[in-house]
Every structure is written in structure tokens, then in C-alpha cells.
Amino acid sequence: MTPVTVTGKVMAILGAFAAGDGRLTLTEVCRRADLALATGHRLVAELVGGGFLERLDDGSYRVGVKLWHIGAQAHAATDLRDLALPHMEDLYEATHENVQLAVLRDGKALYLERLRGTRSMPIVTRVGVELPLHATGVGKVLLAYAPRQVRERVLAETLAAHTERTITDPERLRVCLAEVRRTGVATTSGEMTVGAHSVAAPIRDRHDTVIAALSLVTGRRTADLRRLVPTVTTAARALSRDVALHWSGSGDIGADADEGAGGDCHPRG
């Protein structure tokens, strides 16, 4: 149903970007917002003028700086990111690879922070983007420790194949998540992006609740993920200690832990 009020129409336009797509054409925005093209064009132009959206050189649109600054003021997320940055910087200095921090939001992995060096491989993540839980290292950690009803809802959905190595079979993913809970670490190899390999570990609060996930992403073909696991888990434990001592947020930024049995978590080539 087309939003009736101007406020409703504006919210529908901004909501069109909630799926995590970096850029949308005016036609895509209007289709997602269920608006006539003329109406969408007028409102989008006003949002661009106010800095809430940004028009790119190719005519597409993305979330503007002002909207991101407003969203970034969410207290719990901001505090968590501030606590995480020193640990992420240490992890980057030790590896010179991509380092990422994400939380669970609406069935997706929402990336709060990312460090990327000049020598690390290009990846699809950026601050504020949402990516699938089943195809990313941080996503597997967040899904593994999510409340059972959240996990079952994701497993009941169609799991999209982002590469030929993405796990799309729900039962195989269920076994993978049990292994994550058993070992406390998730790995991926080319499941979200061809050639990208990741190691991720959970971040816990003072109640031992998993509230976020920290990951390292490398593009080196010769990378031995098993050798990277201690580096990532050490950083995750150090950040968890800081969170337990200093973070004032509540567990709803992440998800409760759940028990499970082990299994095979790696894609079969």
C-alpha cells in the first residue's frame, strides 16, 4: 500500500535502503517505496538537498552523511565501536588484513566498524551495511549464538547463493552453527566473495551474552585460517573483557547463547 502521508512516504524512501544495498536508482527507490516516479523524484531531491541522501555521478543514490551521523549516535552501538577500535587496530597491525565488527540486526549482520589497509583485499563490507548471516564469518557467529527462534527463522528462509561455495542447505548450515558454538570460532572460504577467507569470534558482555562478532578477512590464497584463529580469538577475548568492564549497553544489541553439538562447518569445494 502506498504511504498516505508525506512522512510515511519519506520513511518508505529511507526504508528502501534498509536492505543494505549501497546504491539504488530512482526507479528502484520508488518501486521499493511503492511511490509514483514523480512523487519519489520530488521527495528524493529534497532528501538530497538536506544531506539525508546523496546523488552519485551515475545518477544513483545512497545514504547521505547526515543520515549516517544520526544513526551513528545510537548510544550502545557507538560505545561498543569506541571500545572495539583499539583492539581492531591491534589486530590490523598484527596482520595487515581487513578487520570487521558486526552485530545482529533484523536477521542480518550489521557492520559497525571496518579497518582496511592499502594492501588488504577489496571486500563488499563497509560501515552501516547489512550482509547475510549464513555467508559471512561474523554472520555465522551471530547466528550460532542467536536466540533459537531467530536461528530457526533464518534457517527456514531461502539461503541465497552468493558464490558457488555458499552454504545454502539449511541442515548443513545447522551443523556448521553447532560447530561454531562448540569451538567458539567461525571460518568462511569464498562464501560471500570469491577469494575472501575469514575467521570470526564472538564478543561477550558481562552476562556472557554474545553481543557482537569480530572478524579478520584475508585474500591470500595460501592463508592458513587455523593459524589465524588464535590471533582473532585473543583479540575477541580482550575486547570482551573491556565490554564486561566498561560497556553500558544491554544484550538486545546481540543475541543469547544456545547449546548445540559439533559438526562440519567448512564449505566443500
Go through the domains of the chain in sequence order and give each one's CATH number: 6-70 (1.10.10.10), 74-246 (3.30.450.40)
Rounded CA separation 260/166 (Å): 22
pLDDT for 268: 39
pLDDT tens digits for 153-174? 999 999 999 999 999 999 999 9
Residue 259 has pLDDT above 50, yes or no: no
- Percent pLDDT > 90 in the chain is 57
Burial class (CB in 10 A: 0-12, 13-18, 19+), 216: buried
Q: Give the highest mean pLDDT range of 54-58, 193-197, 199-203, 260-264.
A: 199-203
Residue 93 has pLDDT above 70, yes or no: yes
Phi, psi of 8 (to 5 degrees): -60, -40
Q: CB–CB of 115/122 below 8 Å?
A: no
Cell of residue 212, nine digits? 557482537
Phi, psi of 43 (to 5 degrees): -70, -40
| pTM of model > 0.75 | no
Mean pLDDT confidence for 63-92: 82
Cα–Cα distances in Å, from 72 out to 76, 171, 186?
Answer: 10, 36, 27
pLDDT for 262: 38
Mean pLDDT confidence for 20-38: 89
In which residue are the cell numbers 543520515 written?
Answer: 67
65-74, 93-102, 159-168: least confident range: 65-74
At 41, the pLDDT band (50, 70, 90 cuts) reads: very high
174-188, 215-229, 231-245: least confident range: 215-229
Q: CB–CB of 84/214 below 8 Å?
A: yes
Short-list 208, 219, 222, 237, CA closest to 90 = 237
Q: How does the average pLDDT of the chain come out, rounded?
A: 85
At 223, the pLDDT band (50, 70, 90 cuts) reads: low
